Structure 1
C-alpha cells in the first residue's frame, strides 16, 4: 500500500449562520441545495443574504476551502450585493468550489454538515438533501440536523446555522 504524505490528506471545518429574511421580502427558502415550500418552511420567507443564504452549502464551502488552504467563502466569492456570489444558488456555488479545488490540485473526499435550527424540518428530506449536495460537490456529503432546545437565535426562530467538516486529498 502506498503511503500518503502528511500534506496529501487534510481536514477542514466550516460554519455559517443567517437570519431569516424580513417578512414581506418574498425570498425563496433554500437549505442544503433544496427549495423548501411555504408549508415546509413554516412561514419563513427565506434567508437574509447576498446569495440564496444556504447555510449548509456555505458551511461546506468554508470546510473544503479551509482544508485545502485556499481561504474561505468570502475569499472566493466576495461579500456584498455586487460580489461574485451575489444571487448565486448553493448548487452553483458548490460546483464553482469543486472546479476551483481541482484547478489548485485538490479534490473533496467527503463532507458532513449539521443544520442547526427549528425550521425547516430536515428529517423528511435528509436523503434528498444529501443527494443534492453530493451531486453538486462531486463527492459524498452527509446532511444532519439538530435544534438548540429553544436557546440562542436558532432556538428563538430568528435564523439557522450550520457546521461542517470536510476531507480533501491532493490530486
Structure 2
C-alpha cells in the first residue's frame, strides 16, 4: 500500500446577494463567495488537495475560469469529477481535514451538514471528514466578513 498527503487552499471574496455555499451546503447569510463557479471555497480546497496528492493538474487547470462551460458550475459536480479522476489514477481518499477562516457566516452550526455532504461526495464515512471554523479576530484582509479562506489536507491510498 502507498499513501500520499495533499494540501489545498482557496480564497474568495464574499459578495452581497450571492448564495453562501460552503462545503456543498447553502448557509443562510446575506453574502456569498464570488467566483466563476458557485464559489464554494471549501470544495475547491478539498479538490485541490486530492488532485495534488494524486499528482494531477490543479482545479484551475481542469476547470478554468476562462471557459464559459464552468460559469456558475456546481462545485459538488466538480468535486465528483475530481474524485473520479483521482480514482482513475489509482488512488482513493482516506480522510480530509478542513479549516475555514472567515468572519462572515458562522461555521459551527453547519459543520455536521458540511461533513455529511463532503463524506457523501468523497465516498467516506463522516468521521473521516473534519471541518473547523476559525475567526480571524479582526485581523488581515478578510476581517469584517469580507471573505473566506480555506485550507484542506487529505490522505490518499493506493
| TM-score, structure 2 normalization | 0.91
Unmatched 5+ stretches in structure 2: none
2:47 is the alignment partner of 1:61: yes
Unmatched 5+ stretches in structure 1: none
2:121 is the alignment partner of 1:121: no
Q: Root-mean-square deviation (CA), in Å?
A: 1.4
| Structure holding more strand per residue | 2
> 2 CA distance for matches of 1:88 and 1:110?
25
- The one of 13, 21, 24 aligned to 1:19: 13
> 2 CA distance for matches of 1:168 and 1:108?
4
- The one of 43, 63, 75 aligned to 1:90: 75
CA contact (8 A) 1:50 1:81 kept: no
Secondary structure of 1:100's partner? helix
Partner residue, 1:164? 152
> 2 CA distance for matches of 1:131 and 1:86?
26
2:13 is the alignment partner of 1:28: no
Structure of larger gyration radius? 1
- The one of 8, 22, 33 aligned to 1:47: 33
Shift of residue 81, structure 1, vs aligned partner: 5.3
Shift of residue 119, structure 1, vs aligned partner: 2.0
Residues paired across the two proteins, number = 155
> 2 CA distance for matches of 1:85 and 1:9?
31
| TM-score, structure 1 normalization | 0.85
